[in-house]
Structures are given as structure tokens and as C-alpha cells.
């Protein structure tokens, strides 16, 4: 179990001990140590509601510890057994009234349809098929009705294969037997999650398959309806926490990779190009698999960076001549092939990409390089790779730093957009007039209201944007749905494109309205680091003022909450024409603006503001 960067080694040691032993005393000791940390280190509050068909009460300490290491300050609410629909579909239920940040359903075929699970031999094939269909219909109905009642994300567990089945091999060959039924139900769950952004999965089935025969305790299942084995309880808790991680932890953005004995076998400077190992046979196939995984991450929107102490000409030759190389040099958003220290090169890349070091995951086979990176840049997540390529492959594929529920169109175009950034910088460097350069970009902006289809992108930006973000408030998908449902609120997204490409959605504003008082309060105003420096924030601000004025608001209030990363927006509201109010502090500044008002949109941006036409200079 990975502990957050910045936690004391003593706390990390207690967590490791609890994870390794699974003893209740060790788990509680680790929890006590975490709760003694400053709240800023513990993370944000997170309330999880659990609806279930089996007992979990005695295992809540372990589940709480798993969540706490994300980090967050968890509170777990457990509903009564076998009351899933009552808890999830009645907006007056105690579960929904508690306003959880997420809801989890834990279930098994043993409880969903006990006859199919234990008496299927007494049923005809048609009756077994009908039983599976009944379970599927129940799940589909639950999802259809739930999204109409509640806004919190709903996590449905896949069904594990039965922990105790008397059928044995016969189960494989009997039509619509439990094994077949479970596979069919799980396929339905996968399809439901793929179709609806509010529905997510906890892969209970996958965890049980990986854990094997030790996953379940038959005696405790029969005695107390408590099937999860105490020996693997922390493994189960970790798997559950990993499923919920993207709700709470922004994914890393850059994978920084060494070359020698990471992306290929051998040392280029010693073995030469001909001596490097990469291909379809061992051990070259291990390095090829590492490259394929890195390429898959790139397709999901992760940026790749190359950090190598080598001669650049030799590296170029290797990439251009080696067969069976999935990665090409142009797959990397940034290259640093030189003899400088890798932490210095990583800082250069972070500045080039306009990202913080905490956006990086670093992979190197040399313990010296990993330790130096740990020491010089503790914000960087350093994977504990090794000189054994199989271990490196396992560490990389099991890394959850890049986890996200879905890949947006903006994610897919991110790598190509950073390549376009290089073209923009080259054009800018050749231009003596900054404003003339902006006109040559042929910028186009589209400002539109947040819709169901764009809520995931809004939540993604709220979770990931740190630099150009005046409050850095982290809202969940449930939060955004609730805010959007209030007609007095304004939620806008800005999409940006130019002559070099379409960047997609890069800006967001959330303003909370009080129609009775005529007051509008800015909750969030942020811009992706890829869009900084081109006036996109002024286009978004212009549209916000136009809408606020059209809706009859008389005052706009805003605040700047300083973080360690957002100093570049500390004077943003002054630049946008707001008046600073008395009181507060340099870390918490308050502003106001009388409405109606307008802000001229930059003349170099061709803007379309859906619903209200923005004011142009």
C-alpha cells in the first residue's frame, strides 16, 4: 500500500506493518497515527455509503485504513443487509440523506439468487437462464432509477465466482449454470458502466481471482455471513481504495523514463546499438512490453518524457535503426538526453510543460538515480524499479498514479497538443510583437454550459488543475451535478483551438447564485496550463459577466485562496476589474464587482458564447 508523499516515515511504517500482517491491532494503530496528522496531510473528508448482501461491519477498520492512505478522511456508512433498492432509490432513505460522496454495492450471486447459486441442478436450463435474466433486469433497473434519484457516483461490484460450489467441473459444461450466469451478469455490469458516467465498477471478481483460494473464509461465511478472509482483508481494502482513488486523487500527467535497462536491455554507450536487447524473445520481449505499456499510457493522455545520460546522436541512431521498437522519439513530449543530473532535467521539463514536479512519475533502474530524485524532488513519485526488467514491468503495470475512470477527448489529444506547443513557441520566438503573435494563432474559443456529457471533463479539471486556479476547490461528479441542477448557478466550460490544433475543453467557471439577494459568488475559476498566456481567461470572464448581467444579478463576489502552486493568479481579479475588499489576508483575498458589467474580450480571439453574446473590444 503506497502512502502519500510527505507523510512521516513513522506513519508509513505503521501502515506497512498493518498491510503486511492484517492484524486488527496493527490496523488500528496505523489509523490512530494517521488521525494525529495535520488535516492538510490527511486529505479531504470523504463519506462512503455501502449497501451489501453480506457482512462487513467487523472489517470497517481495514476499509477505513485503505481509504485513508489515498489520502482522505473517510467516514463509512453501512446500510442494513439486503436493503439495496430501499437505500438507493428512496431519496428519503438514511443513506441518501447522509449525502455520501460515493456509494458502493457489494453483492454475490449467493444472495442475489440463492437457488441459482446452490440448487441449479434442480432447475432446468431454461429456468437457470430465466434466473440470470432476473438478476440482470434487477441490476439494470437499479441503475436506471438510481441516476434519477441521486447524484453521487455509484460503484457496483462485479460478482466473484462462488467461494464454495459443489458443482465442480459440471458447472463448466452445464448451460446457464452459476459460472456462466456470473460471467453474463458481469458483462452486463461492464456495459452499464461504459454507458453511464455516474456508474462505476469495483472489480470484486478480479480481486477474488487474483487472491485465489485464500480470498474467502467458508467458516466465517457460514457462521456470520462474512466471506472475506481476514488474512486478505487489507488486500481487499487496498483494491477497494484503488477503485475509488480517481474520485479523490488527480492522476499524474507525465511518465519520465530512463533508457538503458528500462526501455531496452543493455547500456548504449558500452554495448552499442547492435548489443541492445529489444524484440520478441526473452529478455528483449520484457523491454518491448514496457514500451508497449508506456505507449498505451500515451494513448490515454499521459505525456512521456525521456531522461537519459547518453549521447543524443547515439540515442537517435538507436531509435531509428532498432527493429521491434514500439516507441519512437516523437512519442515523447520532452527529451533530455545529456549528462546533466536527472532531477535538473526533470525540473527543466516541468517548466517547459508548465507542470509541477508532483505531476511526474519517474522510472529508473539505478538505485542512485532513484534516491537522488527522492532527495532532490520529493514531490515526484519514484517507482521502485530495479535492474530486473520483469520487476520494472510489474511495478509499472501495477502503478495506480495514472488511474482515471474514462479517457476524454482532451486526454487523447494532450500529447499532440504539447507537440503543437513547440510549434507555438517557435512562432512566438520569431515574433517581435507579442500581440501580433497572438493574432497569427487564429484563436477560436467556444463557451458553453456544463452538460451531462461534459460533467466528467469538468470534474477532471477541478481535480487536476493547480496553477491557474483561484480557489483549488475539488468537487466530485455528484457535487457538480447538484450545482448544475440549481437554475440560479452558472457553470461554463471554455474550449480552445488555433491554427495548430484543437485543445478541447481547457477552462471552467462555477458561480453560485442567490436570486433573492442578487448576489453571485464565484466558486471556481480555472484554466488548463496548456492554455495559459493567450487571453482565454478573459474570454471566459467576459462570457460569465454577460450571463450574470443578463440573469439580473447586481453583485459578483470572488476570493483568491493561496496555495503552494497558484501564485500566478494572485492578482487575476484586479486585472479583471474587480475591487479588493477590506479584511482578509494575502493568503485569502476577497473581491467584489457591481453588476451589470462587461469585460472586453481579447480582439485576437474569435469567441462564440452560447446563449449570450460576449462583449468584444
Q: What is the pLDDT of residues 528-576, one digit of tens each?
A: 988 888 999 999 999 999 999 999 999 999 999 999 889 999 999 999 9
Q: What is the pLDDT of residues 57-108, one digit of tens each?
A: 999 999 999 999 999 999 999 999 999 999 999 999 999 999 999 999 999 9
Give, in degrees to the nearest 5, the angle at Cα 329 between 326 and 335. Answer: 135
CA 355/CA 532 separation, integer angstroms: 12
Residue with cell 466473484: 160
Q: What is the pLDDT of residues 487-526, one digit of tens each?
A: 999 999 999 999 888 889 999 999 999 999 999 999 999 9
CA 242/CA 63 separation, integer angstroms: 11
Whether the per-residue pLDDT at 164 is higher than 70: the answer is no
Q: What is the pLDDT of residues 413-432, one digit of tens each?
A: 777 777 677 777 777 777 77
Whether the per-residue pLDDT at 616 is higher than 50: the answer is no
Mode of pairing for the β-strands spanning 490-498 and 501-514: antiparallel
Residue with cell 462512503: 48
Q: What is the pLDDT of residues 585-613, one digit of tens each?
A: 999 999 999 999 989 999 999 998 876 54
Select from 3.40.50.1820, 3.40.50.1110, 3.40.50.300, 3.40.640.10 the CATH code of 9-248: 3.40.50.1110
**What is residue 617's predicted lDDT score, i.e. its pLDDT?**
35
Q: Do domains 9-248 and 254-397 have the same CATH topology?
A: yes
Q: Which CATH class is domain 431-609?
A: alpha beta
> How far from 283 is each of 236, 241, 265, 289, 368, CA to CA, in Å?
33, 34, 8, 10, 24
How many other CB atoms are found less than 10 A from the CB of residue 30?
A: 25
CA 275/CA 602 separation, integer angstroms: 56
- The domain spans of the chain are 9-248, 254-397, 431-609
Q: Which CATH class is domain 254-397?
A: alpha beta
> How far from 553 is each of 408, 513, 517, 595, CA to CA, in Å?
34, 8, 8, 6
CA 97/CA 186 separation, integer angstroms: 29
CA 493/CA 446 separation, integer angstroms: 8
Minimal CA–CA distance to 152: which of 233, 52, 247?
Answer: 247
Reduced to 3 states, what is the DSSP secondary structure of residue 249?
coil
How many other CB atoms are found less than 10 A from the CB of residue 607?
A: 24
Amino acid at each position: 500500500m503506497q502512502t502519500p508523499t510527505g507523510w512521516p516515515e513513522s506513519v508509513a511504517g505503521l501502515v506497512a506493518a498493518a498491510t503486511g500482517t492484517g492484524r486488527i491491532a496493527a490496523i488500528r494503530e496505523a489509523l490512530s497515527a494517521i488521525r494525529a496528522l495535520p488535516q492538510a496531510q490527511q486529505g479531504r473528508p470523504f463519506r462512503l455509503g455501502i449497501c451489501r448482501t453480506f457482512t462487513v461491519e467487523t472489517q470497517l477498520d481495514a476499509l477505513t485504513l485503505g481509504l485513508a492512505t489515498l489520502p482522505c478522511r473517510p467516514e463509512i456508512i453501512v446500510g442494513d443487509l439486503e436493503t439495496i433498492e430501499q437505500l438507493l432509490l428512496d431519496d428519503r432513505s438514511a443513506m441518501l440523506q447522509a449525502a455520501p460522496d460515493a456509494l458502493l454495492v457489494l453483492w454475490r450471486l449467493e444472495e442475489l439468487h440463492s437457488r441459482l447459486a446452490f440448487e441449479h441442478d434442480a432447475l432446468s436450463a431454461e429456468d437457470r437462464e430465466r434466473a440470470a435474466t432476473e438478476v440482470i433486469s434487477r441490476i439494470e433497473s437499479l441503475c436506471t432509477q438510481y441516476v434519477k434519484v441521486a447524484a453521487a457516483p455509484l460503484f457496483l461490484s462485479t460478482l466473484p465466482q462462488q467461494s464454495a460450489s459443489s458443482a465442480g467441473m459440471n458447472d463448466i459444461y452445464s448451460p446457464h449454470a452459476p459460472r456462466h450466469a456470473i460471467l453474463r451478469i458481469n458483462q452486463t455490469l461492464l456495459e452499464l458502466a461504459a454507458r453511464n458516467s455516474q456508474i462505476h465498477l469495483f472489480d470484486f471478481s478480479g480481486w477474488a481471482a487474483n487472491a485465489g483460494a485464500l480470498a474467502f473464509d467458508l467458516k466465517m461465511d457460514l457462521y456470520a455471513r462474512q466471506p472475506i478472509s481476514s488474512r486478505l482483508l487489507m488486500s481487499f481494502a487496498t483494491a477497494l481504495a484503488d477503485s475509488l482513488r480517481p474520485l479523490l486523487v488527480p492522476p499524474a500527467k507525465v511518465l519520465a523514463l530512463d533508457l538503458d535497462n528500462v526501455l531496452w536491455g543493455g547500456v548504449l554507450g558500452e554495448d552499442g546499438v547492435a548489443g541492445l536487447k529489444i524484440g520478441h524473445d526473452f529478455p528483449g520481449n520484457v523491454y518491448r512490453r514496457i514500451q508497449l505499456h508506456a505507449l498505451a499510457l500515451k494513448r490515454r493522455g499521459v505525456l512521456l518524457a525521456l531522461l537519459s545520460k547518453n549521447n543524443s546522436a547515439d540515442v537517435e541512431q538507436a531509435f531509428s535503426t532498432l527493429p521491434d521498437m514500439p516507441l519512437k522519439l516523437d512519442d515523447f513530449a520532452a527529451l533530455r538526453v545529456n549528462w546533466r543530473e536527472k532531477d535538473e532535467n526533470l525540473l527543466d521539463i516541468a517548466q517547459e510543460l508548465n507542470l509541477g514536479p508532483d505531476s511526474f512519475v519517474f522510472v529508473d533502474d539505478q538505485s542512485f538515480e532513484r534516491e537522488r530524485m527522492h532527495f532532490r524532488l520529493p514531490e515526484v513519485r519514484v517507482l521502485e524499479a530495479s535492474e530486473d526488467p520483469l520487476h520494472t514491468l510489474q511495478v509499472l503495470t501495477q502503478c495506480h498514479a495514472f488511474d482515471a475512470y474514462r479517457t476524454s477527448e482532451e486526454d487523447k489529444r494532450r500529447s499532440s497538443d504539447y507537440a503543437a506547443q513547440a510549434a507555438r513557441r517557435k512562432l512566438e520566438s520569431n515574433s517581435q510583437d507579442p500581440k501580433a503573435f497572438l493574432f497569427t494563432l487564429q484563436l477560436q474559443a467556444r463557451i458553453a454550459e456544463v452538460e451531462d456529457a461534459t460533467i466528467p471533463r469538468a470534474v477532471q479539471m477541478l481535480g487536476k488543475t493547480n496553477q491557474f486556479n483561484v480557489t483549488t476547490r475539488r468537487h466530485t461528479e455528484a457535487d457538480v451535478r447538484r450545482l448544475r441542477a440549481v437554475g440560479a448557478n452558472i457553470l461554463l466550460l471554455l474550449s480552445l483551438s488555433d491554427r495548430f490544433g484543437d485543445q478541447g475543453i481547457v477552462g471552467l467557471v462555477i458561480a453560485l447564485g442567490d436570486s433573492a439577494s442578487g448576489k453571485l459568488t464565484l466558486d471556481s475559476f480555472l484554466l488548463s496550463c496548456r492554455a495559459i498566456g493567450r487571453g482565454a481567461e478573459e474570454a471566459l470572464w467576459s462570457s460569465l459577466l454577460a450571463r450574470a448581467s443578463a440573469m439580473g444579478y447586481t453583485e459578483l463576489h470572488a476570493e483568491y485562496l493561496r496555495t503552494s502552486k497558484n501564485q500566478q493568479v494572485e492578482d487575476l481579479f484586479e486585472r479583471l476589474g474587480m475591487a479588493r475588499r477590506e479584511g482578509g489576508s494575502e493568503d485569502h483575498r476577497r473581491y467584489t464587482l457591481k453588476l451589470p458589467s462587461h469585460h472586453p474580450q481579447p480582439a485576437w480571439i474569435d469567441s462564440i458564447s452560447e446563449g449570450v453574446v460576449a462583449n468584444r473590444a
